[in-house]
């Protein structure tokens, strides 16, 4: 998220939601001045839709200026991407210069001395309101970038020490909390803003939990919650409620690689970590040594792991090789179908994810990793 400005109406949170819900297409114009762009180039409009991102319009940059015209059915978050001729691949890798804004009817003007990333916007109420939110977020992001740069420039052996990792993790957590506060304060101050729906999603993150996202979603005004993307998000939150901490873990049954069917219910009486992963998932593979360490430490204390891979049939050999290469000694299951049934049941849209379930079948924690997982198990599990 990025940039900012003010308007009295924006400060009052009076985003024109009647317009947002209008289904009649309205004309928009995007004008820009980029004086440093000398060679052939194009700007591409990438719209966020309910089905994902879509490249819908483009215009040539001539003598440092562009005009892009089109129609918009309802205001929506979008990106304007500048691509020099011969570099269109950057459009798909997100390496190109770009500006995030809200597309709506009327004329939006991008003015910059050098790049879209530094462009000032005028003419768009929603984009101005969006920048009001992102101005303080940019401050936090610069601090996060600086922190991560320090991490990259530190030797791996030093990173592994508690002397480095503890203050680093504490600072990282503090910055995350600061970002969350900015987003939460904006939602509370602008409950009737379309921007606040995006802020709720930002706080929820790629792996949302019901406990985090539901209270913020409830702060939104009724008109915002009736927007199509809000309705879908609300339905997703309802599904998360069934796999939230304190809920009874939904049972499922899937086959091992040799065809033996294993049900989650067969683990009643023990603590079990349901671990969703995939052989092609880099973060999953990097975390597997930690999971192995945890399993070896607690496997004799009424604790088991049930691995659920979201690989597909074409990945079977890769899945089996990953199990062997990573020394995963616990039971592994998968239906090897696109849209794994167990992952769908647990609203898993990104991996790695895990759910810790107690002997009575109740979810007691989610997405615990490394030392946090081991500390939780040490507290909960009976002594050997």
- Distance (Å, rounded) from C-alpha 332 to C-alpha 123? 55
Mean pLDDT of the chain: 89
pLDDT of 3 over the 70 cut: no
Q: What is the pLDDT of residues 156-189, one digit of tens each?
A: 999 889 899 889 989 999 999 999 999 999 999 9
> pLDDT-derived band of residue 229, with 50, 70 and 90 as boundaries?
confident
Who's near 197: CB < 8 A, 6+ residues apart? Answer: 220, 224, 227, 229, 230, 233
For residue range 77-133, list pLDDT tens digits in order.
999 999 987 777 777 777 789 999 999 999 999 999 989 998 999 998 899 889 899
pLDDT level of residue 251 (50, 70, 90 thresholds)? very high
Q: Is the pLDDT of residue 50 over 70?
A: no
Whether residue 23 has pLDDT greater than 80: no
pTM: 0.76
In this predicted structure, the answer to whether residue 38 has a pLDDT above a threshold of 80 is: no
d(CA 348, CA 54): 24
Taken in order of first residue, the domains within the chain and their CATH numbers are: 8-127 (2.60.40.10), 132-241 (no CATH), 253-380 (3.40.30.10)
Residue 275: per-residue pLDDT: 98
């Amino acid at each position: 998220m990025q940039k900012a400005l003010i308007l009295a109406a924006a400060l009052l949170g009076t985003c024109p939601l009647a317009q947002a819900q209008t289904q009649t297409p309205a004309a928009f114009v995007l004008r820009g001045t980029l004086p440093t762009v000398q060679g052939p180039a194009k700007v591409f409009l990438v719209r966020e839709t309910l089905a994902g991102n879509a490249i819908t319009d483009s215009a040539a940059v001539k003598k440092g200026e562009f005009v892009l015209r089109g129609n918009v059915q309802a205001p929506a978050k979008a990106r304007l991407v500048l691509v020099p001729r011969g570099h269109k691949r950057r459009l798909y890798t997100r390496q190109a210069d770009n500006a995030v804004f809200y597309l709506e009817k009327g004329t939006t003007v991008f003015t910059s001395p050098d790049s879209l990333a530094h462009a000032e916007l005028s003419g768009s109420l929603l984009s101005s309101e969006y920048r009001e939110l992102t101005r303080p977020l940019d401050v936090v992001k610069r601090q996060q970038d600086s922190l991560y740069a320090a991490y990259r420039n530190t030797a791996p052996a030093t990173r592994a020490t508690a002397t480095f990792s503890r203050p680093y993790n504490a600072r990282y957590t503090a910055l995350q909390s600061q970002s969350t506060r900015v987003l939460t304060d904006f939602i509370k101050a602008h409950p009737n803003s379309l921007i606040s729906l995006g802020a709720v999603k930002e706080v929820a993150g790629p792996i949302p939990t019901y406990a985090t996202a539901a209270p913020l979603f409830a702060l939104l005004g009724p008109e915002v919650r009736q927007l199509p993307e809000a309705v879908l998000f609300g339905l997703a939150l309802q599904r998360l409620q069934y796999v939230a901490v304190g809920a009874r873990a939904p049972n499922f049954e899937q086959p091992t690689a040799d065809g033996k069917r294993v049900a989650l219910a067969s683990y009643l009486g023990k603590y079990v970590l349901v671990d969703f992963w995939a052989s092609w998932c880099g973060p999953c593979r990097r975390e597997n040594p930690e999971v192995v360490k945890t399993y070896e430490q607690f496997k004799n204390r009424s604790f088991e792991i049930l691995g659920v891979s979201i690989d597909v049939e074409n990945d079977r050999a890769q899945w089996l090789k990953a199990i062997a290469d990573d020394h995963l000694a616990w039971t592994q299951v998968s239906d090897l179908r696109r849209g794994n049934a167990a992952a769908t049941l647990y609203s898993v849209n990104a991996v790695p994810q895990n759910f810790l379930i107690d002997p009575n079948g109740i979810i007691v924690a989610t997405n615990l990793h490394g030392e946090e997982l081991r500390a939780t198990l040490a507290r909960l599990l009976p002594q050997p």
